[in-house]
């Protein structure tokens, strides 16, 4: 992507400090595809001051500073090819590597010494970010290793960033919270969910709370159902080892979809700050009864065709055991038992290898209570919809009925569209936004301890008694059984 088409995070945000960032999982996919490009982008845009240090930490002993820089530069040229001439000098000046082998106490002691040495050599201020870009099993031993090596505190501030999924279930999330609180205070813990860094997800707050028009319709009085879809056409992208142990419920529903749900459904916060917003998000999650297995449909993709190309089924993917019952699709219905939403079904749906990539919130409004037009059946008048497209083609559509000119009385469904790209060009990257927030100490877009536990609680029954996954062809919209979650008089699942 040429630099002219790249969007930057907010102008004017410049750090007063030169921090040291340690990334665990430094040789992994997330680092190469997302974190390095985001950190490089922040540097190029002047948000991360020159002279800051990034120390990659991973088990591998195959790398040293020089070979790690070459690996990182190759990745940057592939995933972030703007200002290509600046990539090698940036890697040489900024990146370092430290093996943590099998995570013994000595390895963490050596890491602590390396951090201190780098801070001294580069005359840094002692402010540190510890970023755990690791699979969930590795969080606890890493947190413990860091804490025991005295890295929970440093000469300046220390912030720890923990990727999702935060645990495997409610019990493991609680244990992880207890463990991390032994070494870090809650305000220094940043549980990351990259969906919260997407501009369009943040815009849900503006759409709702800066527009009287929508907020005044946002309740059971006017809304008949809400549908939240995060559909992917991609498959595993070489991540079978992680994905087959996680599945769609842990990988997507408990975090990304639940975050979207809480932003769509929460009450108006008292202020735009981390505590007020997160209080409201927790409140809404606590108003939902845990989802029962009969309220959900699980699926697993089979061979099929996407965009004219044949793709293998889940069982044929490299690294997936032939007997795997891991779900690659989840659709579920839930109810929010509060004054605003009582009686309104919320439907959540996500899957891999679906017909197309789209993340959408569709708010369906009630049909008119009586048919006033004498020649029309009630079914001829469709319900209004607000379709909020979070990616791609970001924007929203208001779907409404019009009378086609010249005809006898009839209705036709039309759309009024707003598209971000037409007004604003490209949108900034979510990881850049969130990394800058961590560096600035703003936790508004991160998940609090009680919030992560409340979201696991919602799916506790489902995780304990998962429905058997039903097959669906790659390139479809998931198993047809998902239709049975809908009530007989409801509009079908939206097809973007
Ligand atoms: C990640 C999941 O958190 O989100 C992936 O682990 C998924 O499985 C990805 O593909 C989707 O993110 P985005 O930003 O491409 O919608």
Per-residue pLDDT of the chain (496 residues; tens, 9 = 90+): 333 356 666 655 678 899 999 999 999 999 999 999 999 999 998 899 999 999 999 999 999 999 999 999 999 999 886 888 999 999 999 999 999 999 999 999 999 999 999 999 999 999 999 999 999 999 999 999 999 999 999 999 999 999 999 999 999 999 999 999 999 999 999 999 999 999 999 999 999 999 999 989 999 999 999 999 999 999 998 899 999 999 999 999 999 999 999 999 999 999 999 999 999 999 999 999 999 999 999 999 999 999 999 999 999 999 999 999 999 999 999 999 999 999 999 999 999 999 999 999 999 999 888 877 777 777 778 889 999 999 999 999 999 999 999 878 888 999 999 999 999 988 889 999 999 999 999 999 999 999 999 999 999 999 999 999 999 999 999 999 999 999 888 888 988 7
**Residue where the block lists tokens 């990334």:** 23
For domain 3-163, give the CATH number.
Answer: 3.40.50.720
Rounded distance from Cα 16 to ligand 1 centre (Å): 32
pLDDT of residue 6: 61
Q: Which of 256, 431, 432 to mutate to test the pocket of ligand 1 (most atoms within 8 A of CB)?
A: 256
The residue nearest atom 2 of ligand 1, judged by CA position, is 251
| 196-431+448-485, CATH topology level | Dihydrodipicolinate Reductase; domain 2 (3.30.360)
Domain edges within the chain: 3-163, 196-431+448-485
**How many CB atoms are closer than 10 A to CB 47?**
22
pTM for the structure as a whole: 0.95
Does residue 251 line the site of ligand 1, with CB under 6 A? yes
Point out the residues that are catalytic: 256
Asked if 195 contacts 312 with a C-beta cutoff of 8 angstroms, the reply is: no
Structure tokens at 249: 């419920």
Whole-Å CA distances, 364 to 294, 393, 399, 417, 475: 23, 20, 9, 16, 26
Ligand 1 centroid–CA 111 distance in Å is 30
- Interval between CA 232 and ligand 1 midpoint (Å): 8
Which stretches does DSSP call E strand in 28-93? 53-58
Cα of 408 from ligand 1 centre, angstroms: 49
C-alpha 306: how far from its chain's center? 24
Q: Is the CB of 232 under 6 A from ligand 1?
A: yes
Atom of ligand 1 nearest to the CA of 256: 3
Answer whether 244 contacts ligand 1 (Cβ < 6 A): no
Residue whose CA lies nearest to ligand 1 atom number 4: 252
Which residue, 368, 424, 417, 416, is CA-closest to 395?
417
479 contact partners, CB below 8 Å, separation of at least 6: 297, 299, 329, 470, 471, 472
């Amino acid at each position: 992507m040429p630099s002219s088409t790249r969007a930057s995070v907010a102008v004017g945000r410049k750090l007063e400090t030169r921090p040291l960032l340690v990334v665990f999982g430094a040789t992994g996919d997330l680092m190469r595809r997302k974190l390095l490009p985001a950190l490089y982008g922040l540097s190029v845009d002047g948000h991360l001051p020159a002279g800051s240090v990034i120390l990659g930490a991973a088990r591998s002993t195959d790398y040293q500073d020089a070979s790690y820089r070459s690996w990182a530069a190759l990745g940057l040229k592939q995933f972030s090819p703007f200002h290509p001439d600046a990539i090698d000098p940036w890697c040489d000046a900024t990146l370092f590597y430290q093996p943590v082998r099998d995570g013994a106490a000595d390895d963490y002691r050596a890491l602590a010494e390396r951090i201190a040495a780098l801070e001294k050599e580069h005359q840094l201020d002692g402010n540190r970010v510890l970023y755990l870009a690791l699979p969930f099993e590795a969080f606890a031993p890493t947190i413990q290793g860091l804490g025991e090596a005295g890295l929970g505190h440093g000469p300046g501030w220390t912030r720890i960033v923990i990727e999702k999924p935060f645990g495997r279930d409610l019990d493991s999330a609680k244990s992880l919270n207890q463990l991390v609180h032994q070494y870090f205070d809650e305000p220094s813990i940043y549980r990351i969910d990259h969906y919260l860094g997407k501009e369009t997800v943040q815009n849900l707050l503006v759409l709702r709370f800066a527009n009287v028009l929508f907020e005044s319709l946002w309740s059971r009085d006017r809304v008949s159902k809400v549908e939240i879809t995060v559909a992917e056409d991609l498959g595993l992208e070489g991540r079978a080892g992680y994905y087959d142990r996680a599945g769609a419920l842990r990988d997507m529903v408990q975090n990304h979809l639940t975050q979207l749900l809480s932003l769509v459904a929460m009450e108006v916060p008292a202020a735009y700050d981390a505590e007020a917003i997160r209080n409201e998000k927790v409140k809404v999650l606590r108003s939902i009864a845990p989802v029962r297995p009969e309220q959900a449909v699980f699926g697993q993709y089979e061979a099929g065709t996407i965009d004219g190309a044949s793709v293998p089924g889940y069982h044929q993917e490299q690294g997936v055991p032939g007997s795997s019952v891991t779900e690659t699709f989840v659709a579920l219905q839930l109810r929010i038992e509060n004054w605003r939403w009582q009686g309104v079904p919320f439907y959540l749906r996500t899957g891999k290898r679906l017909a197309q990539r789209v993340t959408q919130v569709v708010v369906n409004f009630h049909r008119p209570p009586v048919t006033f037009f004498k020649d029309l059946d009630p079914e001829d008048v469709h319900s209004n919809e607000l379709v909020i497209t979070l990616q791609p083609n970001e924007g929203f559509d208001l779907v409404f009925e019009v009378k086609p000119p010249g005809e006898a009385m009839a209705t036709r469904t039309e759309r009024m569209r707003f598209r971000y790209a037409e007004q604003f060009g490209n949108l900034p990257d979510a990881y850049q936004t969130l990394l800058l927030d961590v560096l600035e100490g703003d936790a508004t877009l991160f998940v609090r301890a009680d919030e992560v536990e409340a979201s696991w609680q919602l799916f506790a029954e489902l995780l304990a008694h998962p429905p058997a996954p039903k097959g669906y062809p790659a390139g479809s919209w998931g198993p047809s059984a998902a239709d049975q979650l809908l009530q007989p008089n409801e509009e079908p699942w939206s097809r973007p």
